[in-house]
Amino acid sequence: MTTESYWCEHAWLGDGSVQTGLLIEVDSGAISSMRVVDSAPPGAAVLPGITLPGMANAHSHVFQRALRGRTEGAGNMHTTFWDWREQMYALAATIDPERMHRLARATFGEMLLAGITVVGEFHYLHHQAGGVPYHDSNEMGHAVLRAAAEAGIRITLLDTCYLHGGLASGGHVPLAAEQQRFGDGSARSWIERVSRIEPVGMARVGGAIHSVRAVDPDSIETIATWSWRVTAPLHAHLSEQPVENEQCLAVHGLSPTSLLARHGALSERFTAVHATHLEPGDLKQLARSDSTVCMCPTTERDLADGVGSARKMSAEGVRLALGSDSHAVIDPFEEARAMELDERLDKMVRGHHSPVDLLHAASAGGYESLGWPGGGRLDIGRLADFTTVSLDNPRMAGIPDADLLAGTIYAAGAADVTHVVVGGRLVVSDGHHTSIDVVGELRKAMR
Residue from 184, 282, 325, 416 carrying the catalytic annotation? 325
User: In angstroms, rounded to a whole number, what is the distance separating the alpha carbons of residues 271 and 236?
Assistant: 7
Q: What is the DSSP letter of 383?
A: B
Q: Is the dihedral angle over the CA atoms 347, 351, 352, 358 positive or is it negative?
A: positive
161 by DSSP, 3-state: which?
A: strand
What are the φ and ψ backbone dihedral angles of 349, each rounded to 5 degrees? -140, 145
Examine the residue annotation and report whether 419 is marked as an active-site residue of this protein. Answer: no
Q: Where are the alpha helices (DSSP H) in 169-216?
A: 187-194
Rounded CA-CA distance 115/12 in Å is 15
3-state secondary structure of 359: helix
* Distance between CA atoms of residues 116 and 62, nearest Å: 14
Distance CA 289, CA 265 (A): 9
Burial per residue of 320-339, b for 16 or more beta-carbon CB atoms within 10 angstroms, e otherwise: bbbbbbbbbbbbbbbbbbbb
**3-state SS, residue 375:** coil
Q: Annotated catalytic residue: which of 274, 277, 353, 419? A: 274
CA distance readout (Å), 317 to 13, 292, 312: 23, 9, 9
- 142 flagged as catalytic: no
Classified as helix, coil or strand, 10 is strand
CA separation for the pair 9, 47 (Å, rounded)? 6
The catalytic residue positions are 274, 325
